[in-house]
Amino acid sequence: MTRVLSFVAALSIVAAVPLVAPSARAQVSDADRNAARDLYNEGWSLQQAGRYNEALDRYQRSIAVFPAPTTAFRVAQCKEALGKLVEAAEDLRAITHAALPPNAPQAFVTAQRDAATELASVEPRIPKVTINVNPPGVQGLVVTIDGATMPNALVGVPRPVDPGTHTITAGAPGYGTAQQRVEVHERQTPIPEVTLTLQAGATTYNPNGGYSTGGYGNGGYTSGGYQAGGYNPYGQWIPPRRRPEGPRTALLLGVDVAAVVPTGSFGTSGSGNDGDLNHDLGSVGVGVGGEVGLRFARFVYIGAVVQPSFFTDSNNKSAFAMSVAGILGFMTNPEGLGFYGEIGGGIRYFEGEKNATSGSPQSANATGEDVILGIGLQFKAGSFRFIPKFEVEFGPHDDNLIGDIGSFHAFINLALSGYWELPLGVQHAPPPPPETPAPASPAE
């Protein structure tokens, strides 16, 4: 498929008669239909293997023989995977608005419905850029993006572009050329602006050289008018620098390991039964816990964590603490390195020997509320996410010793959390198995 409009026209021709009628079969021979089906199936295998350029070639060959919504939908998916979001959106829009005959195969209907769903997810990802030229109103102005001419009516207004780095050039007779590179990202806000200033009397701009004419078939869809990267002077495609967006919702199963520093007062009383956690639980303990949570809206995390901590007290005896809490976290850049912050609350239990100001040590335990504040970094490696963070957990507590009154505790955690992340996003259904290829093939 070299142009979206050609696909719409071809699909309209096919839709004008029943797809199973002899007249429709006369337009495409059985041998050609079988060849188109084989190309589609080969393209699907390549797409599943992540070889999107090769898959796109097979799908486009197939749709040139038999223009079907099923194949057009796969073409759009491959373009999306290659970073050609603008072109993918146009393809999806053409599929969504194409008229299908009443007796169209269910696979065609499903492809049209899936295209509408995919379009709704692709459109918000497409960034825009505003290109300004000074002085305004220059006669004979030519503005190009990656070598493809842009209509002058779009100067000064936001224009959709694919994610990646783009080279923008402007020139006019009697003026020199001005050029600037801009890098844009998916969902980028605010819309970036590029201002090109033309210098009168500089090296004269040649309106007949160095620029393509743009439009469909010449600098448009087939020549890179809406490409994510660009074509170099030798016609070689330069891929965009982009990071694919991951699933918006995922289940996280994690393990927390932390160095735990207790501080605060264990308990006080007028009878002299007092002490502090630094003395009674030891200066540093080790915490090992488990966590389960859900990441949603890409950036927000909610989870529950259980973390036991182990200490050696001042009498060289074992001491213990346990925290059970809920966490609300926020992360930036979920597909790469970003900031992580959290707030939470729960309960804490701890026990050990308490040294009184007078008398022998006494066994004691305490229970209280915990408020949790944390800050750190997060990064993803494959299916795993890691969050090194600094946490402070604090709150009031009461111990079990007669005569003690309530007091305050605080624990400082230097933690590393590791998660296995299981995506929960909607996945595209694979085509039917080989023994029943008719619903998913382009030639039915």
Q: What would the two tokens of residue 11 be? A: 């699909």
Residue 399, number of CB atoms within 10 A of its CB? 23
Where is mean pLDDT largest: 214-223, 227-236, 292-301?
Answer: 292-301
- In angstroms, the CA 170 to CA 90 distance is 26
Domain with CATH 1.25.40.10 in the chain: 4-124
What pLDDT digit, counting tens, does each position of 264-289 carry? 655 444 444 444 444 456 668 899 99
Q: Please state which architecture CATH assigns to domain 4-124.
A: Alpha Horseshoe (1.25)
CATH of span 128-235? 2.60.40.1120
Quickly state the pLDDT bin for 55 (edges 50, 70, 90): very high
User: What is the 3-state composition of the chain as percent helix, strand, coil, each rounded to the nearest 5?
Assistant: 25, 40, 35
| Alpha-carbon distances, residue 316 vs 19, 264, 285, 313 (angstroms) | 84, 20, 13, 5
- In angstroms, the CA 180 to CA 167 distance is 6
Whether residue 236 has pLDDT greater than 90: no
Please count the helices (runs of H) and the strands (runs of E) in the chain.
8, 18
Residue 180 pLDDT = 94
What pLDDT digit, counting tens, does each position of 251-264 carry? 999 999 999 888 76
- In angstroms, the CA 177 to CA 255 distance is 58
- Span 159-170, mean pLDDT? 95
Quickly state the pLDDT bin for 330 (edges 50, 70, 90): very high
- Span 338-352, mean pLDDT? 90
Whether residue 335 has pLDDT greater than 80: yes
User: What is the separation, in whole angstroms, between the first and last Cα of the chain?
Assistant: 18
Who has greater pLDDT, 290 or 219?
Answer: 290
- In angstroms, the CA 184 to CA 194 distance is 11
What pLDDT digit, counting tens, does each position of 182-204 carry? 999 999 999 999 999 998 875 55
Quickly state the pLDDT bin for 435 (edges 50, 70, 90): very low
Domain with CATH 2.60.40.1120 in the chain: 128-235
Q: What would the two tokens of residue 328 be? A: 């609300």
Q: Please state which architecture CATH assigns to domain 250-423.
A: Beta Barrel (2.40)
Quickly state the pLDDT bin for 102 (edges 50, 70, 90): confident
Domain with CATH 2.40.160.20 in the chain: 250-423
